[in-house]
Amino acid sequence: MKKNSQTTVSQKTHPRAVTLIPGDGVGPEVVNAALAVIEATGVAIEWDRQAAGMNAFRRFGTPVPDALIKSLKRTGVALKGPLETRVAEGWRSINVYLRRTFDLYANVRPTMNFAGVHTPFSNVDLIVVRENTEDLYSGIEHEIAPGVVESIKVITARASRRIAKFAFEYARTHRRKSVTAIHKANIMKLSDGLFLKCARAVSAGYKEIRYQEQIVDAACMRLVTHPESFDVLLLENLYGDIVSDLCAGLVGGLGLVPGANYGDKGAIFEAVHGTAPDIAGKGIANPIAMILSSAMMLDYLGRRAAGDKIRAATASVLRAGKVLTRDVGGKASTSEVTGAIVKAMSRG
């Protein structure tokens, strides 16, 4: 029997503070919604508010101020809104930088159907486990001749074993039935081949969990035809980035899917979606992904009951189908959805 898909790793000690990164675009709006819901649980957190991304660049001339790094080193935990990354120009992804700087090697994105959100799919209950520190996201690229650019894909046995073990431990802890390693080893026989060899070796220590492999293109087709056939998905960095968004599309979009980045000494919790500059400041952004990410953070802080309370209230509001943002077929504002969840928590 599967446990709630939104639960995950727990931290053994409670930090005194959590770094709060409101982010860019709709980030401050959805982060404020999450803060209101956390406050309604009664859990007291000392927030260390820090700027990053475009907001930080405008204020300090850098998207990653020293104060942010110092805060993360001190707290070890962050709740983060989306950050702007320019396409084909500007600074490298701040998300990638933070994950690599603090060795947050496991990205976890639970994806499940909610009653009240209508999609062509049902019985979707997936956990995407994505390696977070290498692959093409290592950022090693250069121009070898005019008009010819080379990007280097880095896959190591250490990182592959580590993420595979994380996926299997997650599956064991949460009573999941299978782990599927997704790859392109038919073409990239050395890099993806190494990833598979490591996954196979790790799987041998988890006999109660069915281990499967699937080529990434076939897996994408199967996800949109029979998503219920998957359970825990184990992926390299790039495939994980793409497939996790595909999975979000199965259940109603990025506004419903939370995310977490775990390392051995810390974690950053964030919504999967981007900054959505076209709707920033309009008060219509869906706050649920950020709210559910905050519930995962509470789990990590050892406040599982509070996280469960948030998840139950959120599911109740979605199931009723009366207070929904536009991306999931409603007309409600960010604040109206937030208020409905807080109200549902008081009833629960």
195 CB-contact burial (10 Å; exposed 0-12 / middle 13-18 / buried 19+)? buried
> Which tokens is 230 given?
């998957």
Report d(CA 220, CA 338) in Å as an integer.
33
For residue 4, pLDDT beyond 80? no
What's the chain's Rg over C-alpha atoms? Answer: 20
Report d(CA 139, CA 153) in Å as an integer.
9
Instruction: Please report the pLDDT score of residue 52 as a whole number.
Output: 92
312 CB-contact burial (10 Å; exposed 0-12 / middle 13-18 / buried 19+)? middle
For residue 1, pLDDT beyond 50? no
> Which tokens is 331 given?
């007309």
Provide CB contacts within 8 A for 117, sequence distance 6+: 251, 252, 256, 318, 324, 328, 329
| Per-residue model confidence as pLDDT tens digits over 181-213 | 999 999 999 999 999 999 999 999 999 999 999
C-alpha distance from residue 340 to each of 79, 106, 318, 324 (Å): 22, 32, 10, 10
C-alpha neighbours within 13 Å on the C-beta side of residue 32: 13
* Mean pLDDT computed over 83-98: 70
331 CB-contact burial (10 Å; exposed 0-12 / middle 13-18 / buried 19+)? exposed
Range name among 4-18, 162-176, 238-252, 333-347 with the lowest pLDDT average: 4-18
For residue 85, pLDDT beyond 80? no
Strand order in the sheet with 267-271: 46-49, 17-21, 77-80, 267-271, 258-262, 106-112, 125-131, 232-235, 178-183, 210-215
Which residues in 121-280 belong to E strands, given as ranges?
125-131, 141-145, 148-151, 178-183, 210-215, 232-235, 258-262, 267-271
For residue 87, pLDDT beyond 90? no
**Can you tell me whether residue 279 is helix, strand or coil?**
coil
Within a 10 A sphere around the Cβ of 1, how many other Cβ atoms? 6
Confidence of residue 94 (pLDDT cuts 50, 70, 90): confident
Confidence of residue 92 (pLDDT cuts 50, 70, 90): low
> Are 261 and 10 within 8 A, CB to CB?
no
Question: Residue 80 — φ and ψ, nearest 5°?
Answer: -130, 135
| CATH 3.40.718.10 residue ranges for the chain | 1-104+254-348, 120-251
Averaged confidence pLDDT in the chain: 92
Instruction: Please report the pLDDT score of residue 10 as a whole number.
Output: 55
Instruction: Please report the pLDDT score of residue 320 as a whole number.
Output: 95
> Are 177 and 141 within 8 A, CB to CB?
no
* Mean pLDDT computed over 209-219: 98
For residue 86, pLDDT beyond 80? no
Provide CB contacts within 8 A for 224, sequence distance 6+: 246, 250
> Which tokens is 43 given?
């859990």
Burial 218-234 (b: 16+ CB within 10 A, else e): ebbeebeeebeebbbbb
For residue 133, pLDDT beyond 80? yes
Task: Kindly report whether the global pTM for this prediction surpasses the value 0.85.
Answer: yes
Instruction: Please report the pLDDT score of residue 89 as a whole number.
Output: 47
For residue 2, pLDDT beyond 50? no
Instruction: Please report the pLDDT score of residue 237 as a whole number.
Output: 96
Report d(CA 68, CA 171) in Å as an integer.
33
Task: Please give the distance of CA 207 from its chain centroid, rounded to a whole number.
Answer: 28
Instruction: Please report the pLDDT score of residue 53 as a whole number.
Output: 87
For residue 41, pLDDT beyond 70? yes
The CATH number corresponding to 120-251 among 3.40.50.20, 3.40.630.10, 3.40.718.10, 3.10.20.30 equals: 3.40.718.10
Residue 326's closest CA among 290, 286, 273, 288?
286
The CATH superfamily of 1-104+254-348 is Isopropylmalate Dehydrogenase (3.40.718.10)
> Which tokens is 137 given?
């996201």
Percent above pLDDT 90 for the chain: 84
Confidence of residue 272 (pLDDT cuts 50, 70, 90): confident
Instruction: Please report the pLDDT score of residue 3 as a whole number.
Output: 44
* Mean pLDDT computed over 42-60: 92
| Per-residue model confidence as pLDDT tens digits over 291-332 | 999 999 999 999 999 999 999 999 999 999 999 999 999 999
Report d(CA 130, CA 158) in Å as an integer.
15
